[in-house]
Amino acid sequence: MENFSFSVPTQLFFGRDVVKQHLVTALHHPKKVLLAYGGGSIRRNGLYDEVTALLEAAHIDYISFGGIEPNPRVETVEEAIAIARHECVDFVLAVGGGSVIDAAKLIAAGIYHEGHAWDIVLGKAVIQTAVPLGTILTLAATGSETNSGSVITNLATSEKKGWGSPLVLPKFALLDPQNTFTVPHNHTLYGIIDIMSHLFEQYFRQNPLTVQNPYQEALIETTLRQVIATAPDLLANLNDYHARETMMICGTYALNGVLRIGSNGDWASHQIEHALSAVYDIPHGAGLAIVFPHWMHYVLTKDPETTAPLLAKMATQVFAIQPLADDIATAHAGITALSDFWRQLGAPTKLRDLQLTSTDILTDLTTKTLLGQPSVGHFLPLTAADLHQIFASLE
């Protein structure tokens, strides 16, 4: 392992009715809360009424800000910041999926920031302070509920970029699997794919041949097996509490930092997907379903010496494939098993499944993936030429 330091200071409340039991005490007497939410799912399923009733009963002043989009826009965040400043908000409560939570992090940081919020995302402005924030998660997917990351889209430049700061780590996360019952089939599936992708991003890491990290590998393998075992049951019965519960805890642990310790993960597939989402505004998990198997195939073909051993280990440990003649053959079987699993669950496998194309905008997609860097990824760094080939293969 590489040396590391690790801390997850977010207070996690997990299980049935935790919102009712813990929201008010977790808030610690704010003067005014900004209740941030998305396109209306929490209004339709009753969670909005539940949360506002709890705030009102505790005489906690709040103002609501709805309409945060999937792939949240910086323009919407700026709007919320203006309202939050005007209303002297001193706590941001995000109730929603990753998009709402990511937007809430930039709102919390932007309230004290004089310039454009996009400068924070670009890293041109480094925040010194932020309004505290808490999360009530409604969709198991991103892990944003207990991490310091946030991914924001700029419509004007059609860019989508991640940023992060320990200052926007949620103070608390209230995770009740019942609040995910109404997530429809497609977004439940995209969430599952995102969770698995976060596990893969950290499994396929920098210097896998020289830096041993067997404990981290074992944790990731077991989490992947758990997600794979649970996904079909969950998608067959969206109200299955135990399946929702398992997926929710796997989603949180997949990206709360614990699986990253001692290794630098790859993350090229996420950057490739963010470019696709920036241009086509597709759900993150749908993009990952198309990108990840193609990325695996590309890195295996380009540099089997570096990549085949760990891809083959994934095949045997995660998909229970018997070792074949060599690591390369086993690795290919593992990639096929992953593609088949996602396809059988109903995920897209090519851009054409979403009525999209990449051929006429290969350069644009590549630029939006690299975002000024010479390469992306750490398992096998990829340059513009590599990215062109990967985007072409997604057609």
Contact partners, residue 305, CB within 8 Å, separation at least 6: none
Contacts of Zn ion in 204-263 (CB under 5 A): none
Count the residues of the shown chain that bind Zn ion, applying the rule CB under 5 A: 1
Q: Give the nearest distance from C-beta 44 to Zn ion in angstroms.
A: 25
Q: Give the nearest distance from C-beta 323 to Zn ion in angstroms.
A: 30
Contacts of Zn ion in 181-200 (CB under 5 A): 194
C-alpha span between 213 and 371 (Å, rounded): 30
Dihedral over Cα of 201, 207, 208, 214: its sign: negative
- Please state the φ and ψ torsions of residue 206, each to the nearest 5 degrees: -70, 140
C-alpha span between 275 and 269 (Å, rounded): 10
- 38 makes contact, choosing from Zn ion, ligand NZQ, none, with CB < 5 to 8 Å by partner type, with ligand NZQ
- 351 makes contact, choosing from Zn ion, ligand NZQ, none, with CB < 5 to 8 Å by partner type, with none
Nearest to ligand NZQ of 139, 311 (CB atom): 139
In this structure, are residues 10 and 143 in contact, taking their beta carbons and an 8 Å threshold?
A: no
Nearest to Zn ion of 47, 151 (CB atom): 151
Which of 231, 337, 353, 241 lies closest to 290, judged by CA? Answer: 353
Q: Give the nearest distance from C-beta 199 to Zn ion in angstroms.
A: 10
CA angle 11, 14, 17 (to 5 degrees): 120
Q: Tell me the residue nearest to Zn ion as measured from the CB.
A: 194
Q: Give the nearest distance from C-beta 252 to Zn ion in angstroms.
A: 13
- 269 makes contact, choosing from Zn ion, ligand NZQ, none, with CB < 5 to 8 Å by partner type, with none
Q: Give the nearest distance from C-beta 202 to ligand NZQ in angstroms.
A: 12
Please report which residue ranges of 87-184 form alpha helices under DSSP H: 98-110, 117-122
Residues that bind ligand NZQ (CB under 6 A): 38-41, 45, 70-71, 96-100, 102, 138-139, 141-144, 147, 149-151, 179-180, 182-183, 187, 191, 194, 255, 270, 284-285
C-alpha span between 263 and 66 (Å, rounded): 38
- 149 makes contact, choosing from ligand NZQ, Zn ion, none, with CB < 5 to 8 Å by partner type, with ligand NZQ
- 187 makes contact, choosing from Zn ion, ligand NZQ, none, with CB < 5 to 8 Å by partner type, with ligand NZQ
Nearest to Zn ion of 145, 194 (CB atom): 194
Nearest to Zn ion of 98, 208 (CB atom): 98
Nearest to Zn ion of 194, 245 (CB atom): 194
Q: Give the nearest distance from C-beta 300 to ligand NZQ in angstroms.
A: 23
Which of 49, 54, 48, 52 lies closest to 25, judged by CA? Answer: 54
Which of 36, 41, 52, 47 lies closest to 106, judged by CA? Answer: 36
Nearest to ligand NZQ of 275, 333 (CB atom): 275
Please report which residue ranges of the chain form alpha helices under DSSP H: 18-27, 41-44, 47-57, 74-86, 98-110, 117-122, 185-203, 214-236, 241-254, 268-280, 284-302, 304-318, 327-345, 362-370, 384-393
Nearest to Zn ion of 176, 194 (CB atom): 194
- Binding residues (CB under 5 A) for Zn ion: these are 194
